[in-house]
Structures are given as structure tokens and as C-alpha cells.
Amino acid sequence: MSKNNIYITYLYNSGFIAETEKHLMIFDFCLGVSDVNTINATVLKSKPYVTVFVSHAHRDHFNPMILRWRVRRPDIQYIFSDDIPELDNVIRMRSGEAIEINNMNIIALPSTDIGVSFLVTVDGFVIYHAGDLNYWNWQQENNSIEEYQIRQRKAKIAFQRALYPLRKEEIDVAFFPVDPQIGSNYDEGAIYFINNFSPKVFVPMHFRREYAVCEKLRKKLGSSESQVFCISHVGQVFSYHKG
């Protein structure tokens, strides 16, 4: 693999594999037992370093079976959010913490839900995985308009505050929720993120199998500086060359 390339494979929900020259990184793997085994010995031995990130304990982000990968790759490095209980040989990070390990720099940053988001500098790339950080502007349910507006304002402030630590970062690849369950405002957080942080590549996530959101977002953005990866199936691979 040439030096300035990154390959991204869609696993499911917020789960991805990212591969750079020397690193294999797996984020928020949440698939079932048989899928855990698709990350087989060949995959796990394909790079000098393997790092597994889990942003928080929700079942749509974490399957404890991933700890079995260590059998096939004993020096695998697990980096979990500190809402997950302590485990042997797992580094747990809380928001605000930074570590350098395996020639990579990892910073755990806030989420607007439980757990953390991750900023990873590796092989010349800056990667951001938002975890469950989003502008969770849920559509009005049974609340009054005033209640809704108060809730909406609070969610927006929490969202913008959580992103503040990223203000000086030049992000190459951002994994970020675009969740149609929110209702008509489902892409508001993503659009704010793209407009304010201009990642080179924006990878929508947390939409389960509702792939249409990717194309809708790309159309809505028009001629944005950020390239949006339009995911259409599990296992899809994208590449980006930083030149």
C-alpha cells in the first residue's frame, strides 16, 4: 500500500476498518458472532499494528466478542471508552486524555451521549470517529412547543461545546452520525460539522441500512470541499489518497 493512501471498509452502523500504510484500525465493531470471525487471521496479521477502538458500551457500537481477536493477534491493542468496565490488557480512556502508542497519537474527546469520540493521528492522517456525538435534535414528540425548543437549544449547546476541542484540527477522515431516526433534522449535526471542520472525507454512519441518507447528504451539500462517501452495502471499501 502506498504511503498516502487510506482504505475504509464499512462494517455496520458506526463500525469501520481503516487501513493506512502500517496500521489496521477497527472502530465500533458491533456485528454478530459469525461476523466477528470475518476479521480473520489474514486480516489481523495484514499490518504491523492493529488497534481496536470502542467509543462506548451501547450494543450498536460494541460486541465483547471482539476480545477474541487477541488469540489470533496477541499484540492487538484495544482502546475502549472508560464507560466500559475494566478488562485485562485494554486501555480505557476518558474524555480529555491523550496517549501515544504504536506510533499513533490518540485523543479521547467528548461525546454528547455516553463514552467518547476519538481523534487519531496515524501514518500522516488525522482521523476523527464521533462515536455517539451528534446534534440529537429529536423531532417533537408529546412535548409542548416550548419544551421542545428548550430541549433543542440544550442539545445544540451540548453539541457545539463537545466539538470545541476540534477547532484547530485539520481532519482528513471524519466518521460522523447521520441518523434518520432523529426525524426531519437528522442531517443538521453532520452539516454543521462539515461546514465548521471541513474534513477532506466525510463518512456517514449510524444509519443502519438506510443507505439513502448518504446520497441525500451529498446532494444537499452541493459543491462542498468535503468528499462524502456514499455507502451502499456492508463490506464496501473506499479509498482516499492524500496528495
Q: Kindly identify the residues of this chain, within the stretch 39-98, that bind Zn ion according to CB under 5 A.
A: 60
List beta partners, residue 51.
Answer: 25, 77
Amino acid at 166: L
The 8 Å CB, 24+ separation contacts for 157-160 are 158/112, 159/112, 159/133, 159/134, 159/135, 159/189, 159/192, 160/192
Q: Parallel, antiparallel, or unpaired for β 23-27 and 237-241?
A: unpaired
DSSP 134-193: S---PPP-SS-HHHHHHHHHHHHHHHHHHHGGGTT---SEEEEE--GGG-TTTTHHHHHH
Minimum separation from the CB atom of position 225 to Zn ion (A): 27
Of the two residues 123 and 132, which places its CB atom closer to Zn ion in the complex?
132
By CB under 5 A, tell whether 19 contacts Zn ion: no
Of the two residues 132 and 188, which places its CB atom closer to Zn ion in the complex?
132
Among 28, 83, 132, 179, binds Zn ion (CB under 5 A): 132
Of the two residues 132 and 187, which places its CB atom closer to Zn ion in the complex?
132
Of the two residues 19 and 179, which places its CB atom closer to Zn ion in the complex?
179
Minimum separation from the CB atom of position 14 to Zn ion (A): 6
Minimum separation from the CB atom of position 212 to Zn ion (A): 19
By CB under 5 A, tell whether 179 contacts Zn ion: no
Distance of alpha carbon 21 from the chain centroid: 20
Minimum separation from the CB atom of position 242 to Zn ion (A): 29
167 within 8 A of 192, measured Cβ to Cβ = no
With CB under 5 A, what is the number of residues at the site for Zn ion? 2
Chain length of the chain = 243
Of the two residues 58 and 216, which places its CB atom closer to Zn ion in the complex?
58
Strand order in the sheet with 49-54: 90-93, 77-81, 49-54, 23-27, 15-19, 5-12, 237-241
| Nearest position to Zn ion, beta carbon | 132
Minimum separation from the CB atom of position 16 to Zn ion (A): 14
Sketch the per residue contact string, 92 through 131, with Zn ion: x for CB under 5 A, - otherwise: ----------------------------------------
Minimum separation from the CB atom of position 94 to Zn ion (A): 18
Contact set with Zn ion (CB under 5 A):
60, 132
